């Protein structure tokens, strides 16, 4: 299934889960954790293979996931998994989880920012970047950093649907495309 199609199909399910979670005390965090666990589990190759087995019924698919994720699930989550299995939508759980997180961060006016740098980002740089991103995005910023020496220098900043590539490798690749 194409990514756009998957997102289109997943959106109403993510919205429904989000609306349900909002009505529950502490529901956003509970549902975030449940959906994240479900997405991770159903993305595992061995689980994906088992779920793709044509002999497995919708109840069997739901049962398999609920057995694997039983500690994280509440009644609403169990019903949600059953509904997804009934309509043959288990495979879009990762997209549902991703969209749910976007709705949650928008609601909470926060945004996850991933900074991948050629070198370790120091506290002063992190604070300066966080302040600039807060001003630019008009939201509270949660920064996660990663080191990738193959960038050679600079950094790549990712948030939701925005990517700022200010790495030396990125600039060299852009130059190579222009010269080709």
Q: What is the pLDDT of residue 142?
A: 86
User: Whole-angstrom Cα distance, residue 163 to residue 167?
Assistant: 11
- DSSP assignment string, the chain: --HHHHHHHHHHHHHHHHHHHHTSTTHHHHHHHHHHHHHHHHHSHHHHHHHT-TTS-HHHHHHHHHHHTTTT--HHHHHHHHHHHHTT-GGGHHHHHHHHHHHHHHHTTEEEEEEEESSPPPHHHHHHHHHHHHHHHTSEEEEEEEE-GGG-SEEEEEETTEEEEEEHHHHHHHHHHHH-
Predicted local distance difference test score (pLDDT) of residue 3: 63
Q: Is the pTM of this model over 0.95?
A: no
Q: How far apart are CA 82 and CA 73, in angstroms?
A: 12
Judged on CB neighbours under 10 Å (0-12, 13-18, 19+), 77 is buried
Which residue in this structure is represented by tokens 């019903």?
A: 79
Mean pLDDT by 10 residues, the chain (180 residues): 79 95 92 95 92 90 92 93 94 94 86 88 88 85 88 84 82 84
Which pLDDT value is given to residue 111? 82
Residue 168: the pLDDT is 83
The rounded radius of gyration (Å) of the Cα atoms in the chain is 20
């Amino acid at each position: 299934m194409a990514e756009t199609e998957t997102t289109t199909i997943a959106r109403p399910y993510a919205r429904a889960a989000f609306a349900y979670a909002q009505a529950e005390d502490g529901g956003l965090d509970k549902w975030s954790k449940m959906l994240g666990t479900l997405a991770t589990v159903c993305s595992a190759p061995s689980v994906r293979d088992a779920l793709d087995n044509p002999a497995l019924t919708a109840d069997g698919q739901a049962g398999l996931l609920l057995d694997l994720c039983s500690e994280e699930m509440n009644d609403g989550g169990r019903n949600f998994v059953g509904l997804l299995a009934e309509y043959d939508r288990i495979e879009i759980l990762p997209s549902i989880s991703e969209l749910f997180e976007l709705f949650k961060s928008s609601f909470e006016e926060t945004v996850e920012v991933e900074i991948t740098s050629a070198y370790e980002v120091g506290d002063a740089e992190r604070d300066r970047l966080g302040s600039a991103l807060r001003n630019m995005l008009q939201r509270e910023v949660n920064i996660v950093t990663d080191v990738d020496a193959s960038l050679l220098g600079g950094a790549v900043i990712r948030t939701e649907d925005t990517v700022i590539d200010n790495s030396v490798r990125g600039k060299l690749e852009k130059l190579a495309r222009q010269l080709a």
